[in-house]
Chain A
Amino acid sequence: MKIDISNLSVLFDDQIILDDISCHFPEGKFSCLVGENGSGKSTLLRTLTKDIDKFQGSITDLKSSDYSYIPQNIDDPEFLSVQEVVKLGFYQSKIRDQDLTLQSHQLLKRFDIEHLESRRFSEISMGQKQRAWLAFALAQDKKVILMDEPLAAVDLQSRKNFYSILNTVSKENRTLVLVTHDLGIAMEFCEHMVHLHQGAIAFEGPPKNFSGL
């Protein structure tokens, strides 16, 4: 599923956050939405998820059955184990309970965290949490995955690993959009890049064509 945004403007308290922007996120590719703090990245994502509903212009209408969204700074779910979080990802599917355990195990295994299955979610490291959230997103089996700055508190090597995982995930015919200000790694791993600057599109295209800020 391709995401199109055309002539989108968002105002907050008479302040222009997004100023008449047009861009797209292609299907089956790993896209990065980059920009400094306050450039409007998160606002764009929140408009796509209908968290913000006052805007001008047109965007692809995403229903909750189309996308899974991993926001910035998610609170740890109280009480739940890693496996239970991933199992909740299968909430809308009609899989039986026994198969659920197997399927969530396989997802966790894919991201090398299957040994943490029965640990409390709040006890694992930041990098492991991000992988668990990705497993949770994949369990939902949606066409679009939106992630907002999931790597803020993780070391460089884990970030690189995570990005290459994202790259392979997008190859399963998913539209993957990651919001980040980590320009260096984004250029190394993503295939489509949108750069926002002060509420306007400064660059859109393959990262190899990007000439810097």
Chain B
Amino acid sequence: MRLFVSYIGFFFTISMFVLVGLFFGPSDATLSEITSGLIRSDDGPMKMIIWSIRIPRIILSLLTGCCLGLSGALIQLSSRSAIGDPNLFGIGGGASIFLAGSYAGVFVFDEHWIFFGSIISSLVVSLVLSRLISSSDLTPVKLAIMGIALGTLTISIGTAVISFGRVFPGQVIGLVAGSFTSSNWDKIVYLLIILIPVLLITFLLSKRFYPIMLGDVLSKSLGVNPIRNRNIAMSLAGILSGASVYAGGLIGFVGLIAPHLSRKILGNHPSHLILGSTILGGLLTLFSDQLARLLFAPTELPVGMASTILGGPMMMYLAWRLK
């Protein structure tokens, strides 16, 4: 019953932010103009704003957040680290290096190859990380420090690459601090192609990821191969993370907070952790994006800045409790 109420609560909160995203914006339209734009009754500018800007942006921020939340849950499950987050640990940074290269004109690819390349770049970093975790004496704290170092490293490389090209500052900020200003329907399709299968696979395998939280020795005695399952979980996290960076740049802390909130609200059960982290990741990112969009409108903040304002203190709290 409690679970049911929580999910309903998530639904209503998301609906509320969706309405905010639809009806508020810099274009100062009246309610009736927006409504008529929404139901496509005329071909005025409002229809364009609603269907080509606001709705894609809402959906894309929601889906990107879902990817981040699920990715964070997978990393926390398989690394036993309370501060596991795809962008903090450099997994998203892998994709950002690739995207930086593409923005700077180091290589020129079609859009779908850029999407694919982002995913592969993040996948590589996540597998390196998985390898590190599986080496025997890496405590969760050591892992966190190394992960953060790796994260900083990837961002520096990405920034270095991007400074070679003559790139618009807006694009740079969008990449390193997150932005949904260039949302479109194509990106939504790309993200759905990744998110839906990964979510399904995660559900099917979730029971096997759960024992890894006890550590490798104990999960082995439960008949679970910790290294193989960790590699699977981290690969899935890498794929999601790459897709999220392609869609919205580096958005910090959503992958960290979503699983923690989910545990608080829905408990530790693996299927609720996965579903909850996914939904809450979407909710948090949608909220952050609306905050970034409207707080100082018409000037926009990068969405990663808004999510960091929420996530930074949370991370300090978690680190404080870390042993």
Contact = CB atoms under 8 A, between A and B. Distances in A.
B97 to A, nearest CB: 30
A78 B81 contact: yes
Nearest to A74: B215
Contacts of A89: 222
Interface in A54-102: 64-65, 67-71, 74-81, 84-85, 88-89, 91-92
A74 B216 CA distance: 10
Interface string B37-79: 0000000000000000000000000000000000000001000
Contacts of A85: 214
A140 interface: yes
A75 B211 contact: no
A105 B100 CA distance: 54
Interface residues of B, number: 21
A74 B76 CA distance: 18
A130 interface: no
B222 A88 contact: yes
B220 A64 contact: yes
Contacts of A81: 268
B288 to A, nearest CB: 24
Nearest to A75: B215
B80 A78 contact: yes
A122 interface: yes
B82 interface: yes
Nearest to A46: B217
Q: Which of A51, A77, A81 has the most CB of B within 10 A?
A: A77
A75 B221 contact: no
B263 A75 contact: no
B321 to A, nearest CB: 9
Nearest to B79: A78
B210 interface: yes
Contact of A78 (B82, B217, B220): B82
Contacts of B222: 64, 88-89, 91-92, 140
| Interface magnitude class on chain A | 20 to 34
Nearest to B273: A79
Nearest to A76: B323
A75 B213 contact: no
A134 B111 CA distance: 55
Interface string A105-131: 000000000000000001000000000
Q: Main SS of chain A's interface residues?
A: loop
B218 interface: yes
A85 B214 CA distance: 8
A190 B82 CA distance: 40
Contact of B224 (A75, A84, A91, A122): A91
A184 to B, nearest CB: 28
Nearest to B215: A75
A70 B213 CA distance: 15
B312 interface: no
Given A78-B140, A92-B223, A69 B217 contact: yes
Contact of A79 (B213, B215, B221): B213
Given A78-B82, A81-B268, A88 B221 contact: no
Interface string B75-94: 01000111000000000000
B182 interface: no
A177 B211 CA distance: 24
A83 to B, nearest CB: 10
Given A78-B81, A79-B268, A122-B323, A88 B140 contact: no
Interface of A: 49, 51, 64-65, 67-71, 74-81, 84-85, 88-89, 91-92, 122, 136, 140
Top 6 A-B residue pairs of the complex, sorted by shortest distance between their CB atoms: A91-B222, A69-B221, A71-B217, A77-B213, A68-B221, A77-B214
